[in-house]
Structure 1
Amino acid sequence: MAPTPSSSLVELRNVTFGYGERVILNDLSLSVPRGKVTALMGASGGGKTTILRLIGGQIRAQSGQVLFDGQDVTRMDQTQMYAARRRMGMLYQFGALFADMSVYDNVSFPLREHTDLSPEMIHDIVLMKLNAVGLRGARDMMPSALSGGMARRVALARAIALDPELVMYDEPFTGIDPISVGTSARLVRQLNDTMGLTSIFVSHELEQTFTIADHVIILANGKVASEGTPQDVLHSTDPLVYQYVNAQIDGPVRFHYPATSVEDDFGAHAGVGHQKFGVAR
């Protein structure tokens, strides 16, 4: 009898990761519900993109488990990692299209690299994926001729070319106009539902995020500060979450990065500085 699949496609269990002495994720645990749209939110530098990179195996956790469909990514060899990645799609920030390839060639690239499909079959799949994002008519254009919103949609067509189970989006709404933001948000929701995907997206765009997400995770200080439905998060009484969703300047997240005292930095050389610049003490 086949095992029953977990309700979570992705799980992080007690994951710690940092760059040098700077800890980004500290004993972090979270789950991404299968078949849902999950938003990763929080202040800049909080580890959101790092989580996507851990799931995709671009970096490895220093401790803990990163599970994709029950398999620990941190323990996969190269062959296993490539097999897992074929079940994932990634929309990079700003699209990351190949500048010297046409729209058609960008979308067909993963199909040519990872399948033995005939050119005719690849042709039909590419046009289907471009049609799904509303850009079948742009197949012969070069990336330099695309608007920011169009480039993001082409990148999305490429991300779903192999019919992945999981699609990860890194800041899909950044740097595009309000019409394109709305279009991109609708596509995330629509493709997730029609293709039976599980979606994770990193975003700071509150309005669109809370409109399309089923599950929202707010990160802070290397851990989950709050999670739940958009309404759960919006009504959170946690000071940090309240500051974030209400865009308040004053709160747990401070303007100044931690530093030594002003007296320590400036006091010892105050006399020299004042003499040099002719400032009276």
Structure 2
Amino acid sequence: MTSATPDNLVEIRQLSFGYGERLILDGISLSIPRGKVTALMGASGGGKTTVLRLIGGQITAQKGELLLDGKNVAQFDQAGWYAARRRMGMLFQFGALFTDMTVFDNVAFPLREHTDLSESLVRDIVLMKLGAVGLRGARDLMPSEVSGGMARRVALARAMALDPDLVMYDEPFAGLDPISLGTAARLIRDLNDTMGLTSIVVSHDLDETFRIADQVVVLANGKIIAQGTPDEVRNSTDPLVHQFIHALPDGPVRFHYPGPTVEQDFGAGLTPVPSRGAKR
């Protein structure tokens, strides 16, 4: 067994995962370098969010290895996972704020839950995190009183509350207007660099994601079909990557989900429906 590479915070080796007979990830190997922004892209159902769940310990791989900071997660007990998750921040799709808490209390929640800091220190940290995303003045608002873009920034401040080493973003640009989308993308890049973070971004937005990513990984059919810099992936000659990058309706990814033929479903002996105006 080869040892972990110090330059990588996360290493995935020949990992497979599926639900029953449905294989989602089929022997993938992937490295997430420290201090960089890695984008996971690909068609819906390709296993991008599954990778995030594996890293966070929500699900367990059936085969292969997953190393966090050089440690095999298969050896983690409950205390080990709690310690690992304290080093992670997660920005859920659409923010997932607590609707009955103010903006301030949403960001304070992980600090109150996982530390013994005084309320005065919690206040200072929360205001600093909100200031970093431009929302210190919105501290007393409820989630229902902020826009979708603002809610996403509040969720980002919450994800940063414990000063994590790794931040994972699940579709951070979904449903945002162009201004909010650009703001969110800039924040991800700026916070990654200024705080020395390692970031994993799951996204379908090609332009913004390629603009902020250091490494792009494209998943499809349970495999990694492309990996490299944004320019390397953009110039890939692989037919599936080409279809995805250029949003082509026809290619290796088909419109119809695999299944029985029409004859098998409806019977080969069906009587055709006569067209309008035909004699009966």
Range into which the TM-score falls when normalised by the shorter chain: over 0.9
Matched residue, 2:64: 64
Matched residue, 1:124: 124
Matched residue, 2:264: 264
Matched residue, 2:170: 170
Partner amino acid, structure 1, of 2:92: Y
Partner amino acid, structure 1, of 2:127: L
Q: Secondary structure at the match of 1:270?
A: coil
Superposed displacement of residue 267, structure 1: 2.3
Alignment of 1:247-262 (within 5 A): 247-262=247-262
Matched residue, 1:90: 90
Provide the C-alpha distance between the structure 2 equivalents of 1:269 and 1:43, rounded to a whole number of angstroms: 37
Partner amino acid, structure 2, of 1:217: V
Provide the C-alpha distance between the structure 2 equivalents of 1:11 and 1:280, rounded to a whole number of angstroms: 69
Deviates more, 1:39-48 or 1:14-23: 14-23
TM-score of the two chains, using structure 1 as the length reference: 0.95
Whether 2:233 is the aligned partner of 1:233: answer: yes
Provide the C-alpha distance between the structure 1 equivalents of 2:176 and 2:141, rounded to a whole number of angstroms: 19
Provide the C-alpha distance between the structure 2 equivalents of 1:148 and 1:280, rounded to a whole number of angstroms: 58
| 1:269/1:73 CA distance change after superposition, 3 Å | farther
CA contact (8 A) 1:57 1:74 kept: no
Which contiguous aligned blocks of 4+ residues in structure 1 show a shift greater than 6 angstroms? none
Superposed displacement of residue 268, structure 1: 4.5
Superposed displacement of residue 74, structure 1: 2.9
- Matched positions, count: 277
Q: Secondary structure at the match of 2:168?
A: strand
Give the gaps of 5 or more residues in structure 1: none
Provide the C-alpha distance between the structure 2 equivalents of 1:173 and 1:149, rounded to a whole number of angstroms: 9
| 1:121/1:218 CA distance change after superposition, 3 Å | same
Superposed displacement of residue 269, structure 1: 5.9
Superposed displacement of residue 76, structure 1: 1.1
Partner amino acid, structure 2, of 1:131: G
Superposed displacement of residue 274, structure 1: 5.3
| 1:14/1:190 CA distance change after superposition, 3 Å | same
Give the gaps of 5 or more residues in structure 2: none
CA contact (8 A) 1:108 1:126 kept: yes
Deviations along 1:1-30, whole A, 9 cap, x unmatched? xx9961111111111111121100001111
TM-score of the two chains, using structure 2 as the length reference: 0.95
Matched residue, 2:102: 102
Provide the C-alpha distance between the structure 2 equivalents of 1:71 and 1:201, rounded to a whole number of angstroms: 22
Q: CA RMSD in A?
A: 2.0
Superposed displacement of residue 119, structure 1: 0.6
Partner amino acid, structure 2, of 1:186: R
Q: Secondary structure at the match of 1:67?
A: strand
Provide the C-alpha distance between the structure 2 equivalents of 1:161 and 1:5, rounded to a whole number of angstroms: 28
CA contact (8 A) 1:243 1:251 kept: yes
The share of aligned pairs that are identical, in percent, is: 69
Deviations along 1:230-270, whole A, 9 cap, x unmatched? 00000000000011001111110000101111221122461
Superposed displacement of residue 47, structure 1: 0.3
Provide the C-alpha distance between the structure 2 equivalents of 1:253 and 1:187, rounded to a whole number of angstroms: 33
Matched residue, 1:213: 213
